[in-house]
Amino acid sequence: MSEAKTLYDKIWDAHIVDEQDDGTCLVYIDRHLVHEVTSPQAFEGLRNSGRKVRRTDLTLAVADHNVPTTDRSAGIEDEESRIQVEALEKNCAEFDVELYSMDDIRQGICHVVGPEQGFTLPGTTLVCGDSHTATHGAFGSMSFGIGTSEVEHVLATQTLLLTKCRNMRVTVNGALPLGITAKDLILAVIGKIGTAGGTGAAIEFAGEAFQSLSMEGRMTVCNMTIEGGARVGMFAPDETTFEYLKGRPKSPKGGAWEMAVEYWKTLKTDEGAVFDEEIVMQAADIKPQVTWGTSPEDVTTIDGQVPNPADESDENRRNKMERSLEYMDLEAGTPMKDIKIDTAFIGSCTNSRLEDMRAAAAVAKGRKVADGVRALVVPGSGLIKELAEQEGLDQIFIEAGFEWREAGCSMCLAMNADKLAPGERSASTSNRNFEGRQGPGGRTHLVSPAMAAAAAITGHLTDVSDLD
């Protein structure tokens, strides 16, 4: 009789090519996404050793980090950015890898593009030289970020040497209260477990609050799993998953689709499977979340206050808090709602999908961006941009005074021209509030799309339900 397995165990077991005596496994990789920042040195390595890409049919490339989000007809102005994007184009041509170029409507953030094209499928192993690859776990795939040496390893061998993660489950029981989003859920989880709480773990998200999320919401949750230190975040695939994937360009077709769905339905944790760690939370306790510091675990609720380092007993943590508050230029005890912002950023692989655009537009509709606030909306892909425009969302944003941009990573990490100036403060739907993440000296508060839009309207951090 076989033992009860978790979802992660099942996918892991199905991909072992070889196991070494010490438990390290050679694991087969089904899908590989490639972008311009972490791949040039990997292709260079292949070239130097005369190796080829083993499975070009399982590899998909797209430039996202460096691309301008304004008019692209003139190319990329910044020379280094341009060289990196050109290097990707050249490498893909040389090694015969499919690439969505900058003027292709399918171009966008790799973690938005993969699912949108049906490249991401349940039960697969999927990697990319980018930590937010965890996003794809929303489909019940084992997806994780890798470094450039591993990118080269996958290109050359379609495998990786891995040790198995421990199994962890985060269950949020009960229905999500009205107005609470996937972003609030995952920020609350990170606030609870800390940025290292998931280290070495594959997290399965379970419970009514998670299961009721759309695919977009599930992607937001899995996307930020890495912010809790975990390598992998996953949802068991269900009807919501199948419905999203049906008919996508790279999804299975015809009889193969039926066969695939049959298999995908088996991808869930068996009754009685044991997790190494279980976290259980109640949806009813979750409120709109916002970060105050320089780590995603530095999170509180919108009706909360900037915490006081003096209340922290651990010396290391107290020092870190003091440093964060100094960097963020915040006083302990300040109500979060009193914090003024200069910029609102709606975008990134966390929150740049159609549902996110709709949530932000619903707040922006008929209102105006506050004086002196810059508000940016950057869709996750060219296709999302098109769909949003068909619904007239672009007009709602533009009329309210938001800038409506082309797809890309943009101000999430400030590698292109979109950045915060030193000292500027943003309400951002991205995933990292690290020092300098959105530009040197920039200060970031992580929030949901509706809250970012609300902050743009009032000029300070705002609870959406306070808007009249």
Partner 1 sequence: MEKFDKITSVAAPLPLINVDTDMIIPARFLKTIKRTGLGADLFSTLRFNEDGSDREDFVLNMPAYKDAEVLVTGENFGCGSSREHAPWALMDFGIKCVIAPSFADIFYNNSFKNGMLLIKLPPEDMDKLMDDAERGANATVTVDLEAQEITGPDGGLIKFEIDAFKKHCLLNGLDDIGLTLQKNDKIDDYEERQKAAQPW
Residues 387-426 within binding reach of partner 1 (CB under 8 A): 413-415, 422
- Does 109 bind ligand SF4 (CB under 6 A)? Our answer is yes
Strand order in the sheet with 125-128: 98-100, 59-62, 31-34, 125-128, 142-145
**How far apart, in whole angstroms, are the C-alpha atoms of residue 341 and residue 445?**
9
Q: Which residue, 111 or 183, has its beta carbon nearer to ligand SF4?
A: 111
Helix spans in 79-228 (H): 79-95, 110-116, 148-157, 182-193, 208-211, 215-223
**409 belongs to the binding site for ligand SF4 (CB under 6 A):** yes
Q: Does 220 bind ligand SF4 (CB under 6 A)?
A: no
What Cα–Cα distance (Å) separates residue 40 from each residue in 28, 61, 129, 154, 234? 23, 12, 11, 14, 29
- Residue 129 interacts with partner 1 (CB under 8 A)? yes
**Cα(290)–Cα(85) distance, integer angstroms:** 34
Beta bridge partners of 145: 128
| Residue 109 partner contact from partner 1, ligand SF4, none using kind-dependent CB cut-offs of 5 to 8 Å | ligand SF4
Under rule CB under 8 A, how many of the chain's residues touch partner 1? 73
How far apart CA 139 and CA 429 sit, in angstroms, is 22
Residue of the chain from 141, 181, 251, 348 that contacts ligand SF4 (CB under 6 A)? 348
Query: Which entry of ligand SF4, partner 1, none binds 196, CB below 5 to 8 A by partner kind?
Result: partner 1
In the complex, least distance from residue 84 CB atom to partner 1, rounded to whole angstroms = 6
Question: In the bound complex, what is the minimum distance in angstroms from residue 44's beta carbon to partner 1?
Answer: 7
CA distance 184 to 334: 21
**Which residues between 48 and 67 bind partner 1 (CB under 8 A)?**
49, 51, 54, 65-66
Query: Binding segment for ligand SF4 among 22-30, 95-103, 398-406, 408-416 (CB under 6 A)?
Result: 408-416
Binds ligand SF4 by CB under 6 A, chosen from 431, 433, 438, 462: 431
The structure tokens 């309400």 sit at 427
What Cα–Cα distance (Å) separates residue 401 from each residue in 207, 410, 430, 465?
Answer: 39, 19, 20, 21
In the region spanning residues 12 to 51, those forming contacts with partner 1, defined by CB under 8 A, are 17-18, 20, 22, 24, 26, 28, 37-38, 40-41, 44-45, 49, 51
Report the residue from 4, 94, 96, 149 that binds partner 1 according to the rule CB under 8 A: 149
Choose from partner 1, ligand SF4, none: what does 38 bind? Cβ within 5-8 Å by kind.
partner 1
Closer to ligand SF4 by Cβ: residue 130 or 394: 130
Return the residues of window 60-79 that contact ligand SF4 according to CB under 6 A. Answer: 64-65
By CB under 6 A, is residue 91 in contact with ligand SF4? Answer: no
User: Does the footprint of ligand SF4 cover residue 346 (CB under 6 A)?
Assistant: no
User: Which string of b and e fits 185-206 if b means at least 16 CB within 10 Å?
Assistant: bbbbbbbebebebbeebbbbbb
Residues 6+ apart with CB under 8 A from 341: 373, 425, 426, 427, 445, 455, 456, 459, 460, 461
The binder of ligand SF4 chosen from 413, 453, 457, 464 (CB under 6 A): 413
19: phi then psi, degrees, rounded to nearest 5: -125, 130
Exactly one of 11, 42, 412, 456 binds ligand SF4 (CB under 6 A); that residue is 412
**Contact call for residue 92 and ligand SF4 (CB under 6 A):** no
Q: Which does 153 bind (CB under 5 to 8 A by kind): partner 1, ligand SF4, none?
A: partner 1
Between 52 and 368, name the residue whose CB sits nearer to partner 1. Answer: 52
Among the candidate windows 145-153, 169-177, 184-192, 303-311, which touches partner 1 by CB under 8 A?
A: 145-153
CB 171 within 8 A of CB 207: yes
Residues 174 and 284: beta-carbon distance below 8 Å: yes
- CB nearer ligand SF4, residue 125 or residue 133: 133
Task: Note the Cα 313 to chain centre separation in Å.
Answer: 33
Give yes or no for residue 183 binding ligand SF4 (CB under 6 A).
no
Check if the beta carbon of residue 302 is closer than 8 Å to that of residue 451. yes
Binds 316: which of ligand SF4, partner 1, none (CB < 5-8 Å by kind): partner 1
